[in-house]
Chain A
Amino acid sequence: MAFVTWFKRNLVVIAGLLTLAYLLLPNVVVTVFSFNKPVGRFNYAWQEFSADAWTDPCGVADLCGSLALSLQLACWATLGATALGTAIAFALARYRFRARGAVNALIFLPMAMPEVVMAASLLTLFLNLGAQLGFWTILIAHIMFCLSFVVTAVKARVMSMDPRLEQAAQDLYAGPFQTFLRVTLPIAAPGIAAGALLAFALSFDDFIITNFTAGSTVTFPMFVWGSAQRGTPVQINVIGTAMFVVAVLLVLLSMVIGSRRTKSRA
């Protein structure tokens, strides 16, 4: 009976952990199969242990080139979307202006639209204008769909900020520019960072919109997509695992630093 009571009490914990396992299982598979030595073109069945791919991650043609291109695109898209989005977020959170509803709708719609619809319509535009598909068309598209997410993240932060802090700065004879630089911006920084991080992740991992706007340019997700048809090199798993490990380490590091800082302040 004791077990039944325990089980009942912890049912939600067990169910939650099972969901967590479901979420993490593919990552485990990706990691394990980065040490595989597949027979044939596809890396879907386990053969034998081998670290070959880890010692030669760029051993497949075009793989590291596509990775570099994706990183480059993600950096520029993050920069563009964060700059444009932060400006919009400040206008929305801090000023009155006409046509507020229309502006909100224009920000909201790209997030509520299936990617394939935006991708298809963008391609129609580019085809009609006779634009050369490639790096620039991808970048334009990425900035477009990352923008709304940056706006939402930054706006939430700026709206929750105490306006009396800025008034206090001005009472202490800080000019508008100084107030913005020394008070507003530091408080809004976490929101801007969250927006930028989100934009980077969205841009780096985007496939659907990129597939429509890339022409013959190959980003990393497009390389993976292509390899799913032609044959999946183990190196894909190596890069997937390495990104996962590096990102988790960075997050854990920032958590440790964050908790140290709060401790030293207290």
Chain B
Amino acid sequence: MTTLTEAPPPLTPTAPEPAPPRRRGRLTPYWLLLPGLLWLVVFFALPMIYQASTSVQTGSLEEGYKVTWHVATYWDALTAYWPQFLRSVAYAAAATVLCLLLGYPLAYLIAFRAGRWRNLIMVLVIAPFFTSFLIRTLAWKTILADGGPLVGALNTLHVLDVTNWLGWTAGDRVLATPLAVVCGLTYNFLPFMILPLYTSLERIDGRLHEAAGDLYARPFTTFRKITFPLSMPGVVSGTLLTFIPATGDYVNADLLGSTDTRMAGNVIQTQFLRVLDYPTAAALSFILMAAILVMVTLYIRKSGTEDLV
């Protein structure tokens, strides 16, 4: 099982890398790096440059595109689609917070309270990955179906009245509303939160809890002063692993949402694959990338773990 629990690479290495010892064969590392890095340069870095160039081109599909430094594409794209961008950030942020709130107890349970059930629960957390995420997302259509037992229960308990008032749902429906999309995003990225949280919680020395108890800390104080601060690396990498893919996601918004819940990813996909307006699509994609990079940088600065790369 260890192979699977090691699976999600923590985004924030806790200790700085020690410089490896010098070895014989001065060219060996370069030969080892060459094929893989070449792959990344040609199929990751180079496409970014092509995309940057496409975003400042003008022209049409029939006549071809030329670089004209038409920067106004960015402005036009942003004025036309700012609601979708705002929605992307809002939905992803909501899903990330929900993932943290839901995932923390489960990670804590696996790390400290599961005993001999630990491996089994671990398997159950990873197991959903083995079924295609699209099939599982479609299952939410059944769970949240109009007039289904869940929606009926929420209606009877007047939960829907509250969410309607907040603008998260509309009428008697959960499906095709922001709530459904956020619920789907939370569900899809929850394991990416739980696994790094578990990794950092598991490293905590159990004697610290005993020491806190001996010093008359109540359980909640122990959590606030000891456990949570020590799990911060997990919290940071978990939130990043959840927030970044959730911002770019368009599957949940498409399957569980409606035209009113379209996110930035939906717009990029439509512009690229249906409208075939490549400059606009490239500009949108760059804006999304820039927005995420800025937010992630600010977040990492603030959380004080700068040794990310």
Partners in one complex: yes
Q: Is the pair B248, A114 in contact by a Cβ cutoff of 8 Å?
A: yes
Q: Is the pair A120, B285 in contact by a Cβ cutoff of 8 Å?
A: yes
Chain A nearest CB from B21 CB (Å) reads: 7
Chain B residue contacts of A88, Cβ below 8 A: 32-33, 36-37
Q: Is the pair A147, B39 in contact by a Cβ cutoff of 8 Å?
A: yes
Chain B nearest CB from A97 CB (Å) reads: 4
Chain B residue contacts of A20, Cβ below 8 A: 106, 121, 124-125
Q: Is the pair B50, A128 in contact by a Cβ cutoff of 8 Å?
A: yes
Asked whether A220 is an interface residue with its Cβ less than 8 Å from the other chain, the reply is: yes
Q: Is the pair B7, A197 in contact by a Cβ cutoff of 8 Å?
A: yes
Q: Is the pair B20, A96 in contact by a Cβ cutoff of 8 Å?
A: yes
In the bound complex, how far is the Cα of B139 from the Cα of A29, in angstroms? 6
Chain B nearest CB from A128 CB (Å) reads: 5
Q: Is the pair B9, A94 in contact by a Cβ cutoff of 8 Å?
A: no
> Which one of B41, B51, B110, B131 contacts A30 once the chains associate, using CB atoms below 8 Å?
B131
Contact A144-B44, Cβ < 8 Å, known A96-B29, A201-B129, A208-B251: yes
In the bound complex, how far is the Cα of B19 from the Cα of A251, in angstroms? 36
Q: Is the pair A19, B105 in contact by a Cβ cutoff of 8 Å?
A: yes
Chain B residue contacts of A236, Cβ below 8 A: 135, 138
Q: Is the pair A19, B32 in contact by a Cβ cutoff of 8 Å?
A: no
Chain B residue contacts of A105, Cβ below 8 A: 309
Chain A residue contacts of B162, Cβ below 8 A: none
Interface 1/0 per residue, A111-127 and B, CB below 8 Å? 11111111011111101
For the complex, count residues of A whose C-beta is within 8 A of B.
101
For the complex, count residues of B whose C-beta is within 8 A of A.
98
Contact A30-B135, Cβ < 8 Å, known A118-B44, A205-B129: yes
Asked whether A188 is an interface residue with its Cβ less than 8 Å from the other chain, the reply is: no
Asked whether A59 is an interface residue with its Cβ less than 8 Å from the other chain, the reply is: no
> Which chain A residues (77-114) contact chain B, with CB distance < 8 Å?
84-85, 87-88, 90-91, 93-97, 101, 103-114
In the bound complex, how far is the Cα of B24 from the Cα of A197, in angstroms? 32
In the bound complex, how far is the Cα of B133 from the Cα of A33, in angstroms? 16
Chain A nearest CB from B168 CB (Å) reads: 18
Chain A residue contacts of B110, Cβ below 8 A: 16
Chain A residue contacts of B30, Cβ below 8 A: 91, 97
Chain A residue contacts of B248, Cβ below 8 A: 114-117, 208
Q: Is the pair B2, A114 in contact by a Cβ cutoff of 8 Å?
A: no
Chain A residue contacts of B35, Cβ below 8 A: 84, 87
Asked whether A63 is an interface residue with its Cβ less than 8 Å from the other chain, the reply is: no
Chain B CB count within 10 A is highest, among A16, A26, A88, A114, for: A114
Asked whether A252 is an interface residue with its Cβ less than 8 Å from the other chain, the reply is: yes
> Which one of B11, B39, B264 contacts A112 once the chains associate, using CB atoms below 8 Å?
B11
In the bound complex, how far is the Cα of B255 from the Cα of A151, in angstroms? 33
In the bound complex, how far is the Cα of B142 from the Cα of A29, in angstroms? 8
Q: Is the pair A127, B278 in contact by a Cβ cutoff of 8 Å?
A: yes
Contact A147-B127, Cβ < 8 Å, known A12-B105, A20-B121: no
> Which chain A residues (164-219) contact chain B, with CB distance < 8 Å?
176, 190-191, 193-194, 197-198, 201, 205, 207-208, 211-212
Q: Is the pair B134, A104 in contact by a Cβ cutoff of 8 Å?
A: no
Chain A residue contacts of B17, Cβ below 8 A: 159
Asked whether B143 is an interface residue with its Cβ less than 8 Å from the other chain, the reply is: yes
> Which one of A85, A101, A197 contacts B309 once the chains associate, using CB atoms below 8 Å?
A101
In the bound complex, how far is the Cα of B251 from the Cα of A114, in angstroms? 13
Chain B nearest CB from A206 CB (Å) reads: 10
> Which one of A23, A104, A159, A205 contacts B132 once the chains associate, using CB atoms below 8 Å?
A205
In the bound complex, how far is the Cα of B89 from the Cα of A114, in angstroms? 13
> Which one of A22, A90, A198, A248 contacts B32 once the chains associate, using CB atoms below 8 Å?
A90
Contact A248-B127, Cβ < 8 Å, known A116-B265, A118-B44: yes
Q: Is the pair A33, B9 in contact by a Cβ cutoff of 8 Å?
A: no
Chain A residue contacts of B265, Cβ below 8 A: 114, 116, 208
Contact A124-B282, Cβ < 8 Å, known A27-B131, A96-B29, A221-B132: yes
Asked whether B212 is an interface residue with its Cβ less than 8 Å from the other chain, the reply is: no
In the bound complex, how far is the Cα of B226 from the Cα of A60, in angstroms? 56
Q: Is the pair B136, A26 in contact by a Cβ cutoff of 8 Å?
A: yes
Chain A nearest CB from B67 CB (Å) reads: 12
Asked whether A24 is an interface residue with its Cβ less than 8 Å from the other chain, the reply is: yes
Q: Is the pair A22, B187 in contact by a Cβ cutoff of 8 Å?
A: yes
Asked whether B268 is an interface residue with its Cβ less than 8 Å from the other chain, the reply is: yes
Asked whether B145 is an interface residue with its Cβ less than 8 Å from the other chain, the reply is: yes
A-B contact pairs, 27 of them (CB 8 A): A16-B107, A19-B106, A20-B106, A22-B190, A25-B139, A30-B136, A45-B142, A96-B21, A96-B29, A112-B11, A116-B265, A117-B285, A118-B44, A120-B51, A120-B285, A124-B54, A125-B43, A125-B46, A144-B40, A153-B7, A194-B4, A198-B7, A205-B133, A244-B127, A244-B128, A251-B126, A255-B123
**Known contacts A106-B41, A224-B132; can you find 19 more A-B pairs with CB under 8 A?**
A20-B106, A23-B128, A23-B187, A30-B135, A44-B141, A84-B36, A84-B39, A87-B32, A96-B22, A112-B296, A114-B249, A117-B286, A120-B281, A124-B282, A125-B50, A207-B134, A221-B134, A236-B135, A254-B1
Q: Which 4 A-B pairs have the closest CB atoms?
A: A114-B248, A16-B109, A152-B9, A95-B29
